[in-house]
Structures are given as C-alpha cells and as structure tokens.
Structure 1
Amino acid sequence: MRYLLFPGRHHLLTRFQAAFLRAQTAPGGPSAGATVVWAVTSANHHTTKRNPVPFHRREAAIERLSVLEGLRSLVVPVHDVPPSADFAATTVKTCSEALQLGLGPAEVTVACSTPSVVAMYSELGYRVLPVEDAQDPTAERPWEVLLRIAARDPRWEQLAHQASVDVLQRYGLVDHIARCVNDPVIGDDGGLTTTRDYHTYAESFEQASERKWAQIREFVRPGRILDIGCATGGLLERVDRDPRFHESDLLGVEVARHLMAECEHKVNQGRFRNPNVFFYQRNMLGDAVFPPRSIDTSITVAVTHEIWSYTRPETALSRRRAVQRFADNIAAHTAPGGVWINADVCGPDEPDRPVRLSLDDSDGANPAATVDLQGWGQDRVAEHIRSLSTRAKFAQFRRDFERNAGVRIEVAASGDALLLRLADAMDFLTRKDYADNWLSETREQFCGLSYPDWQHILASAGLRLGPGSRAWRNDWLIENRIAPVARISDPDGTRLDWPVTHLLALGYPA
C-alpha cells in the first residue's frame, strides 16, 4: 500500500497514535514505506465545543510529529459537512483533488476507530485498520485526552504526543480548549442556537447598523474601540468612516463562526481604511479576554439579552450571575476615562405588574390547539406562524417559549382577555412578528432585566451610569406592530400606556 489514510479532526495527537503509525509504516510493517495522508476534518471550524483548535495549529502539530517520528506525511484540510452516508467518499475525493493523487482501495489503507466511519470506508472497498480499538484494553482516544485538558487534568501531557503538547502550550491553546469545551452558552458548532438563520440575521443587522451608529456615536471615545458581538462588522465600518477615529484601533469580537467568516471576508475585501482592524472569535462570558484598563470604548448592541437568554438555567451559572460576570469583565478592561455603551432591549420597570392583555383573533387562523414545531423546517415554521391570528400566536409562543427558553408564562382568563405579568405580555408582543426565526427567537427572553436591574448591575461592577443613559420606548414598534392588534389594561379594565422596550446604558469607571 502506497498510502495510509488517517481521517480525523486531529485537535490533539497522542503517543499511542504515533507508535501505531510508526509500526505500520516501518520496514517490515503492514504498510511499510507508506505515506500517511492526514485528512483533517472540520478544518474550517474553530473555537467551538466540537472543534476548538484552528486547522493551522492542528497542521503544525501533525508536521512536527511527522518530523519527530520519521513519518512521510501529507496534510489535507477537509471542510465540515452535515452527517451523511457519503462522508467517507467526500473525504477521499477531497484528498484526491487536493493532492492530485489516485487514492482508490488498491493504493490506500484506512486507519480509523470510529465504527460508523469504518463501515463507510469498508463499503467503498477499503481495508480498514483499527487504531485505538485494536488494543485491549482500548487505548484512550484523542478526544478523551482533550477532555482531560478541559477538566484541567494534568495527565493529558503523559498521553498526548510531544508535538501536540508543544504546539498547544506554545500558542496558549490549553486554556483556549478549556474555555471552548466548558462554555455554558455556546453550542457545539460555535453558534448560540442551531435554529437561527444567520443569513437573515446578518442582513437585518447590516440594515440596522446606520441607525445604531446614530444612537451611540456621540458617546464613543477614541483609542481602542471594541465592538462585542460585532455580527458582520457593520458598526465598526461606521466607526472606520468617522475621521475622529482614524488613529484608533478597531476590535471586533464575535462568537458565531458564520458571522465571523463575514467579518474576515470584509477585511480581505479591503472594506476598512484603517489598517488596525482586528476580529476575534471569542466568548466574552468567560474569563476576561482583554488586559485590565486596556479598552477605551466597549460597545454592546443587542448582546446582553442573549447572554441572559443563552445561559442555560440548569447550569450552576445563573442568568443574572452570567450578565453580572460579563459586566464585571468589561469594567475590568475599561481604561480610566473610558466608557461601556450598552444598547439593548429592556423589560418594563414593573415586570411583575398584573395586566389584562387583549389580542386580535380576526387577523388569522385560530386552530383548536397549538402544534409541536420541533423538527419542522424553517420555511414551514414561518408559514404556520404567519397563518395564525395574534391571539393564536400567543398560545403558540407560550408553548415554544417554555420549551425553548425555559420560561413559563402563567395565564388566567379575564373575560375575553388574558391576565398575566406585564413582562410576559411584552416578551410576546415584541417577538410575535419574527416568523422567519421563530424557534430561535422563542429561545430568547427580551424582558428578563429592567432598567432598575441594569442600574444595580453597573453599580455592582464598579461603573457609574452616565448622562445620556435612559430607558426608552420604540414608538414605531408600538404604533405599527403592537397597538393595532393588542391592548393592555389594569385588571379592572383601566387602559395602560405601553412600557419601555429598550435601553441605552453608559457605564463609566466610578
């Protein structure tokens, strides 16, 4: 056999793998003289639970192991693909095209211990050598060793190959792996939710960037300007165009890999005039990311409600504690004279106030029962939600909000209206028209924190709420989306004015 195909994500290389490959390819071995083809899968993913290490660092460790062990190796990046019965065939084709080699069963032996993947290669006619599975007891797999890193178990260094130990330690990836794997918010593939249409989300944020910039630009301080949750970098593009900041460093942090890719694309296109524009795929919820007192302006737009929403309530990290920790981290990295600009949705000042909510039931269908939308395609979900009356949408929202966000809405009948908390009424009314991302939007809680809550959070972080801070109501939303189909009143029927829906909080070092 001329080639030994070794597919895997290869975030960590083990001593056992090195000994196995050395024995296979050594003179007299089963694959004597074979070149090892390292098919590095999920090569376009990094900073996620499933794929924490960037491809170029994985490749560096493989090349270093090859030199140390005397292996002749070829490394091929294979992009992540959805689970498919064609996974093995796709991997072989990718390697064949990249190397311009024939890699059929006559030339290649495969080394793999994942039973489902072994079956795929076997079906294609390849001879497959078990790796860890051939041992008794079974050797520890690379992912199991990587989980030791996440658990801060020092024994990983005895199991990992010297090449991986060197690369991971030299580039600070040990802590990075622990942060990614232990992250209480981010999903396996580097997003907040698997149900969000990031294309629609990116477009809406791009369209809103000019409006958001007009709201906050007077408060931005020159120096090191950081946009946390920068999405596609639209807001930093506006900063870049402002001559006041032509000598500033512009920093963007985004956790969702789909959006991070667009930020990097903009840099490659030359969309920024300022050469000092840097984007980082990181989660600011964990340990402090930037050095103390190093940032002059931190900007968060529509970020803090996601920290609240995507912190799983069943974890030790409560939603309120998660937001407070985030505020503490920002306070720590804010320079003297600096500012944190936080623009987001906001719950009413009296979230627990009981109100009667009257909803239009003539603007759509009123089915006898709600439906389970889990497993539906996005288009089908959107079509169903749009078909419902406002009253029927509330019933569906209540069901999905409890399941997806873990928030139960207590409701009682009050004549032809509903009796419930003001915050719960506003959570529905501010989200009822988001049919395109319904399952994602019902994962989020807009009214978890009120403006008085934010005053306390900033004070606890050592920040002073500065002039210009305010809670405000989006009157366009009220007039065009909410008031035409809904009304709130006291339990006795006295009509109430609509509460605030958003906030702008400016935090300065105390």
Structure 2
Amino acid sequence: MSYLLFPGRHLVNTTFQEQYLQRVLSQPPAALPGFLPGSDATEKPPVEILFAITSANQENSRYNPIPFHIRAVGVDRFARQLPAAATFRHRIFGIPHYGHTRNFAAFTIKEIAHQSERTILLTPANCLVLCSTPEVIKLYQELGFPIAPAELAETEMRPATPIEIIREIGAQKDWRSGDLVKTQLAASHGSLFEDFPEVPKRIARLYQDPLTNQEGSLTATRNYSSYARGMNEIIRLKYLDIRHTLKPGRIVDEGCADGALLAEISQDFPDADLFGIDLSAEFAGRFQERQRAGEFSGAYVHFFHRNLLDSLFEEESIDTTICNSTLHELWSYASQEKTVRAYLAEKFRQLRPGGRLIIRDVLGPEDGDATVDLWCSPDDGENPAPAELASRKERDQEWLQRLSTRARFHLFARDFLPANRSFSFAETEEAGRPVFRLTLRQAAEFLSKKDYTDNWKSEMNEEFCFWSFSQWKNTLVETGFQVLENVNDPASGSRAYANPWIIQNRYEDRVSISTTEGTKLPWPPTNMVLVAEKPLG
C-alpha cells in the first residue's frame, strides 16, 4: 500500500491542488517538480490519499474560520471530483490543534494510526507527504518522509494558497466577486459555499471584525487557563453579588468566558433562556464542553462566538443583560468612550421596558486627578536595579512574584499602555520614606493590577480606572436608563465598594496612599455593581 499524506487546515481547495494531485497520482514521485527524497526509495505513485485536516477542534477565528464538519464535506467533494487517470481511494482524518510544537508531524502520524485502529501505520517507505509550508516540511523530513512540495516548487508563476483565497473572501461583500475565487477556487468549494452560504458570511465577519486577532481573541498574551481559573474561583461570590437584581426570562451574559456564571444562573432560573456571548475561540470551546457535560441544569443555553459590538438580538427582546468584567475590555481594546457609549445604547435598544442591564466591573476613584503620594514596600521582595528592569523583556510569573511592590511599580510604569501614553510620576519622600507622587487614578490603576503576575502582559493593555462611579451613573442616565439605588439597603442596588479581601491580602503593609501633606487616604473602590433599568412606557 502506498499513501499520500496531505496535511493542512483544508479551509478550501484550489484548482492548482486539483491539477497537482493528478500528477502525483500518475507519476513516480521523483518526476514531480522540486521533489525532496526521504530516507527510503519511493518509486511508485500513491494509491490512497489521506487528508489530515489539522486544527479540527478549532473554528470561528481568522486562522480557522470554518468548522471541521464543513471542511470535511468540502474535502470529500474535492476528492470525489478529482479527474485522475489512476484509481485511488481517499480518507479524511481530523487532527486536533496542538499549537506550535516540533512534534506536530509525529503527532499527526500517531493520530492517524489510532483513528484508523492501527490499520494505517505511516512510514517513509510507504508514504509521500504533500506539503508546501517550509516549517512543516522540515518536521516531516526529520522523520525521513519524502516530500511533494506542491505550490512551493512553482517558481515562475506561484499559484494562490488556500489562505490567500480565504483572505480575499474575507474582504469582499460578495464572496463570488474576487479574482482568486473566480480563477483558482476549486469547483468543489464553489458549490460548497453555495450550499452552505453561512460559511462565506462568517469568513467576512471574522476578517472584518476590528477587535478580533488571528486566533479569535482580544489579545495574544492572555493565559486563558489561568484567567478562567482565577475568574471561576470567585464566580459564586460574583453571582451572589448580582443574583437578586436579575429579571427572569431571556438572560444574556455578555463576555461570558467559559459559561461559569451562566451555570450558576441556570440553578436558580431553570426555565429561562440563557445566552452567552464571547469573542474568544478558546472560551468557545470551554463553554461547549460545559454544555456537553450538562452543567446548565437543563435550561436552554445558546453560545454566540461573536464580537460584543455586534447587534444580535431584536429590539425589546431581552429581560436581563449582564456585563461581568467586560466593559473595561471594550474601552481598552476598541475606541474607549465612543465604543462604550455605543455599546450601552445597543443594550438599551435590545432590552424590554422594565428590563435590566447589570454591570459588575472595575472603576476609578471619584477624585482621580488629585495628586497623591503612593508608598510601595521595598521589603516584600527583590529590588533589581532600574537598568535590569529596563533591559528585561520577559515577564514570567515566577520572576514577577519575586519582585517587591516597589519594584513592580517601576515595572508597571514602564509597561502600562505603552502604545497610548507615558506614565509620568515623581519620586519624593514622605515622613522619611520614599514615595511616588502621581494622580489618584494612576495609583488606583497600579493597585488594581500589581498582583496579576500570571497575565501581566495582557493586563498592561487594559485600563480599569477611566470612569468613576458617578461618571458611570451619569453615562447610563444619558443613555436613557434609570440607575437603581437603595440608600436603606445599598447591597440591593447599585454600589461601589473596596473589596475587603483585596485590602487585607494585597494592600495592607504593602502600599498606602496619602495626600501630599501626609494625611492617609481611604482605599479607592475596587469594584462596582450597576443596576440600570429601561423605563416602562
């Protein structure tokens, strides 16, 4: 048995691949342009094509905009329409996403062996690999496999690659109008997109989304495992913070991450329709795993892998919208005030009269522009020389945790919003000890982030303290909401507070804030809950 292994994401197939495969199936491998021999002689053309669809468990990102089942249908159509002189078989295997690893080729071969019940054991003696990606070619060569380099060997007029066709589709209003689609998309995939019209629409949406990156997330520096773990450890407390404010019916969690909050809500609202929205491809997979495991108590739950700025719901169709730690991300990664105001207006539109918008997030102090003195302990860790801090590029967790609070401040001042503005401060003394003179808003930003050692780089891109509690309330009122407060029972309505656990475990004996005259100031608020209602009538 002689195999042709064709690994790749297989987002689309091309007319060049169609023509090239005809040659591969009818000629000795050595006759192919640019053929790279392996450790064993390969004299006869293959008789079976193994399509290895990589990153099969990923979708809804620019890197992988098409779900595996659609890709598999497309590959099957492509193979069945191949006009080959010789008879051949084909099989399709889904290969999980392994990230960037030097073991990619070996993992693919092992995966095919296990998925085929070990009826297909690929070796350099029985398998030719079709691949045009230099980095992947090298991995298979290291294992001794011969290579048919496809597009890579076409030096005079290089054909379009599948991802180039995908990018063209992503830039078009009508996917059929692009030159590459007209001339180089295989007929099998033209018919595929006609039969599944949502696929080219999804490609265009993902490529035209101003917030998402290549992997389908806000930021490439976030460790999603530690981020989710940290959020989920306190999700019950966060839910109890807002439970009494929810209205039953259709409930949306915007920026739902892996669905942990909706899982809590489903316990108390089993008859509600629950909707989760998140931009992250990683969280999309984790949410779906919760759903598979039955963690939503039998409630109806639907996940939208979308940008929060998209308009997803009809006017006056939602009873409760929850924004849990999401609005500061919209401010930070989009157009700041313009984006947040537009977002709040869209939430007002989608809520029914009497419906509620629940915001639980970080915030800034009321007198944010006031000049204050911030003392940071130099005795709770290491204090590298400024030159060492300036020259170090890595921000690994173990190193960050060894730094004193004072050293972390110096690092924070270098790293915080580097592309937007400088973080200016002065060093002086207060009561015989060194302090940093800066605004109260700057001090609050540092306090809010100094302990994020597991996601330092990601958090440095996010601004927490842009609006005070009163500014948030004013903005909601200007949008049309009524802000619900209860002076007799503050915990039952909108409120801002300093989290006692954070004060005790992260602030005390490590930092303090005082006026420039030396009077100690209270801690700035760390969190807020805003309960905004759309008026009746």
Match of 1:368 in 2: 385
Asked if 1:418 is matched to 2:433, the reply is no
Match of 2:292 among 268, 273, 279: 268
The 5-angstrom pairing of residues 121-270 of structure 1 reads 121-135=140-154, 136-152=156-172, 154-155=177-178, 156-158=180-182, 159-168=184-193, 170-242=196-268, 245-270=269-294
- What per-residue deviation string (whole Å, max 9, x for no partner) do you get for residues 437-481 of structure 1? 333333322213333443454356554434433333324423442
Aligned counterparts of 1:35 and 1:462: Cα–Cα separation in 2: 65
Aligned to 2:531: 506
Aligned ranges for residues 269-308 of structure 1 at < 5 Å?
269-285=293-309, 287-308=310-331
Distance 1:398 1:257 in 2: 31
Q: In structure 2, what is the Cα distance between the partners aligned to 1:508 and 1:319? A: 23
SS in 2 for 1:42: coil
Counterparts of 1:28-47 in structure 2 under 5 Å?
Answer: 34-47=47-60
5+ residue gaps, structure 2, are 33-43, 486-492
User: Given that residues 271 and 299 in structure 2 are in contact (C-alpha distance below 8 angstroms), is that contact kept between their aligned partners in structure 1?
Assistant: no
Hey, what does 1:440 align to over in structure 2? Answer: 458
Between the aligned partners of 2:346 and 2:153, the Cα distance in structure 1 is 48
> Aligned match of 1:119 in 138, 142, 147?
138
Separation in 2, partners of 1:112, 1:442: 39
- Contact (CA 8 Å) 2:253, 2:322: kept in 1 or not? yes
The amino acid of 1:426's aligned partner reads: A
The reply to whether residue 82 of structure 1 matches residue 99 of structure 2 is yes
* Distance in 2, Cα, partners of 1:235 & 1:395: 36
User: In the alignment, what sits opposite 1:478?
Assistant: 503
Equivalent in 335, 349, 352 of residue 318 of structure 1: 335
Q: 2:186 & 2:16 partners in 1: Cα distance? A: 8
Q: Distance in 2 between matches of 1:319 and 1:437?
A: 22
State the secondary structure of the residue aligned to 1:296: strand
SS at match of 1:393: helix
Cα distance in 1 for residues equivalent to 2:169 and 2:247: 39
Task: Work out whether 1:409 is the aligned partner of 2:423.
Answer: yes
1:181-218 deviations in whole A, cap 9, x for unaligned? 34443343334444433333223222212211111112
Measure the CA separation in 2 of the matches of 1:200 and 1:360: 27
Partner of 1:4: 4
**Equivalent position amino acid for 2:172 in 1:** R
Asked if 2 retains the 8 angstrom alpha-carbon contact of 1:27 and 1:33, the reply is no
Corresponding residue of 1:314: none
Does the CA contact (< 8 Å) of 2:445 and 2:463 recur in 1? yes
Alignment of 1:373-392 (within 5 A): 373-375=392-394, 381-392=396-407
User: Alpha carbons of 1:38 and 1:352: their partners in 2 closer, same or farther (altered >3 Å)?
Assistant: same
Distance 1:320 1:20, change over 3 A: farther
Cα 1:120/1:496, change in 2 over 3 Å: closer
Partner of 2:123: 104
Q: For residues 470 and 364 of structure 2, what CA distance do their matches in structure 1 show?
A: 10
Give the percent of matched residue pairs that are identical in Structure 1 and Structure 2.
34
Give deviations 1:132-183, integer Å, cap 9, x for gaps. 2344310111101111122227315313234334444525122322333344
Aligned 8 A contact 2:366 2:468 in 1: yes
Q: Is the 8 A contact 2:46 2:128 kept in 1?
A: no
Structure 2 Cα separation of the partners of residues 464 and 173 of structure 1: 41
In the other structure, the counterpart of 2:19 is 19
**CA, structure 1 residues 354+388, in 2 after alignment: closer, same or farther (shift >3 Å)?**
same
User: Structure 1's 420 and 407: CA in aligned 2 closer, same or farther, altered over 3 A?
Assistant: same
Q: Which of these residues, 410, 431, 446, is aligned with residue 428 of structure 1?
A: 446
2:513 to 475, 488, 493: 488
Deviations 1:380-432 (A, max 9, x none): x33333333322221122122244x7453110123232211111101111222
Q: Find out whether 1:59 has 2:84 as its counterpart.
A: no
Alpha-carbon distance in 1 for matches of 2:484, 2:371: 32
Give 1:47 shift.
Answer: 1.8
Retained in 2: the 8 A contact 1:133–1:139? no
What is the CA deviation profile of residues 355-394 of structure 1, one whole-angstrom value per residue up to 9, with x for unaligned ones? 1212222333333225255345xxxx33333333322221
SS at 1:430 equivalent: helix
Letter in 2 for 1:383: E
For 2:415, give the aligned amino acid. D
Task: State the Cα distance separating 1:298 from its structure 2 match.
Answer: 1.4
Residue 289 of structure 1 aligns with an amino acid whose one-letter code is L
Q: Conserved in 2, the CA contact under 8 Å of 1:254 and 1:280?
A: yes
Distance change (3 Å), C-alpha of 1:364 and 1:63: same
Any idea what SS the aligned residue of 2:361 has? strand
- Tell me how far apart the structure 1 counterparts of residues 437 and 304 of structure 2 sit (CA, whole Å): 46
2-structure distance, mates of 1:166, 1:294? 36
Find the aligned partners of 1:362 and 1:119 in 2 and give their Cα distance.
50
Amino acid in the other structure paired with 1:177: I
Which amino acid counterpart does residue 402 of structure 2 have in structure 1?
A: S
Q: Is the 8 A contact 2:355 2:533 kept in 1?
A: yes
Contact 1:205/1:231 (8 A) holds in 2: no
Summarize the Cα distance change of 1:146–1:389 in structure 2 as closer, same or farther, 3 Å threshold.
same
**Structure 1 residues 271, 85: CA separation in 2 closer, same or farther (over 3 Å shift)?**
closer
Q: Tell which structure's C-alpha radius of gyration is larger.
A: 2
Q: What's the CA shift for 1:119?
A: 3.2
2:375 matched to which residue of 1? 358
Residues 206, 232 of structure 1: 8 Å contact kept: no
2:422 counterpart letter in structure 1:
R
Whole-Å separation in 2 of the counterparts to 1:504 and 1:449: 14
- Aligned-partner Cα distance in 2 for 1:411–1:74: 64
Partner residue of 2:351 out of 334, 339, 347: 334
Q: Report how far residue 74 of structure 1 moved.
A: 1.2
Asked if structure 1 preserves the Cα contact closer than 8 Å seen for 2:382 and 2:404, the reply is yes
Which residue identity lines up with residue 324 of structure 2 in the other structure? V
Q: Which moved more, 1:459-468 or 1:329-338?
A: 459-468
When normalised by structure 2's length, the TM-score is: 0.83
- Say whether the 8 Å CA contact 2:270–2:299 is kept in structure 1: no
RMSD: 2.9
Structure 1 gap ranges (5+): 312-316
Check 1:456–1:481 CA distance in 2 against 1; reply closer, same or farther (3 A cut): same
**What number of residue pairs does the alignment pair up?**
496
For 1:293, the aligned partner's letter is E
Is the CA contact (8 Å cut-off) linking 2:3 and 2:48 kept in structure 1?
A: yes
Give the deviation of 1:343 after TM superposition.
0.5
Q: Please state whether the residue corresponding to 2:215 is helix, strand or coil.
A: coil
1:251 is matched by which residue type in structure 2? F
**Residue 276 of structure 1, CA deviation:** 1.3
